[in-house]
Amino acid sequence: MSALLQTLIFGLATGAVISLSAVGLSLSYGVTRFINFSYGELLTLGAYLTLVAVSFGLSLPLATLVGMVVVGVVGVLLARLFFDPILSRGFLALLVTSVGLAFVLQNFVRMSFGSTPTRFPLPLMRPWRLGELIVPKVPVLVIAIALVTMLGVHLLLRFTRMGKMMRATSDNAALARASGIVTARVLATTWFLSAAIAALGGVLLGMTQLSLQPIMGWSFLLVVFAAVLLGGIGNPYGAMLGALIVGLGIELGVAYIAPDYGYAFAFALLVVVLLVRPSGLLKGTF
């Protein structure tokens, strides 16, 4: 019983990280309509830049904020440089460009930081004990941070002017422009938000996996894709639901079916979803 609960807690933490990253990816998909293969590298970049900020003496939470802002700006710049000029060229050009960008970013990180795994300076945290049950603090913390951030995104989308403009642009860009929305600015804001969320996702991923590697974002990307497609691509709320299923699926699969396969369970889930219900569980706009 206790073992199952432990598995569930780790599954929920993994699910929370996937969920957060999937929300970020959905935001950018919602307004640009292409699957960004370089999104995973923004997670990696976020984690490593946070580590740099820590090395300058900032506390981890403050360093994370710095990492998020820097990666947010980087995300906007990358979109300006690489994606905006070819937005009209169709999805193939965008897809292949995003793959190229992924290799550039990933290996830029490897060139700057080397490929040896490193880790965040997390203080030693004693787990909580609830009778028989031992509850480790890091996964609970990760779940809490992810939930609060997603609540923030929800409030932003539902109740702010910018959020409404983002939803309008996602639903129908031409109509949004005709109604006087400056879609270019909405696009830039969405890229910033999406990249900043990725950076936070990267830090949380580094905390749950205990180590940072230049390849971490790239290997995590497919898991995020699985969640996004399962939930209905372009819909952040669907992404949250999909991520929960994928996260629990990975941890339960590892615990009860085959320990060596890890992420492969997510890929299998992804393939099944694509075959059975390619449109995902929820509708594709927010």
Partner 1 sequence: MALTAFLVGLLTLALIYGVLALGLHLQFGLAGMLNFGHVAFFAVGAFTSALLSLPPAGSEAYLAIGGQYQLGFGLPVPLAFLAAGLAGGLLALLIGSTSVRLSSHYLAVATFAMAEIVRSVLTNEAWLTRGQFGILGVPQPLRGEVFGAASYPYVYLALTVVVVALMLALSVRLTASPFGRALRAVREDETAARALGKPSPGLKLRAFALGGVVAGLAGSLWTHSLGIIHVGQFVPIITFQVWLALLLGGRGNPVGAVLGAVVLMAITEGTRFLDSVPFLEPLTRRNPSFVPSLRYVIIGLLLIAVVRFFPRGILPERLRPPPVEDRRGDTA
Burial of 284 (0-12, 13-18, 19+ CB in 10 A): middle
Burial of 279 (0-12, 13-18, 19+ CB in 10 A): exposed
Our CB check for partner 1 shows the closer of 26 and 64 to be 26
**Binding-site ranges for partner 1 (CB under 8 A):** 34-35, 82, 85-86, 89, 91-93, 95-97, 99-104, 106-108, 110-111, 114-115, 222, 225-226, 229, 258, 260-264, 267-268, 270-271, 274-275, 278
Our CB check for partner 1 shows the closer of 150 and 216 to be 216
Our CB check for partner 1 shows the closer of 163 and 217 to be 217
CB of 152 to partner 1, least distance (A): 28
CB of 171 to partner 1, least distance (A): 19
Q: How large is the angle between the packed helices 39-55 and 183-209, nearest 10 degrees? A: 70
CB of 67 to partner 1, least distance (A): 21
Our CB check for partner 1 shows the closer of 132 and 260 to be 260
CB of 122 to partner 1, least distance (A): 25
Our CB check for partner 1 shows the closer of 69 and 268 to be 268
CB of 76 to partner 1, least distance (A): 18
Our CB check for partner 1 shows the closer of 107 and 285 to be 107
CB of 256 to partner 1, least distance (A): 16
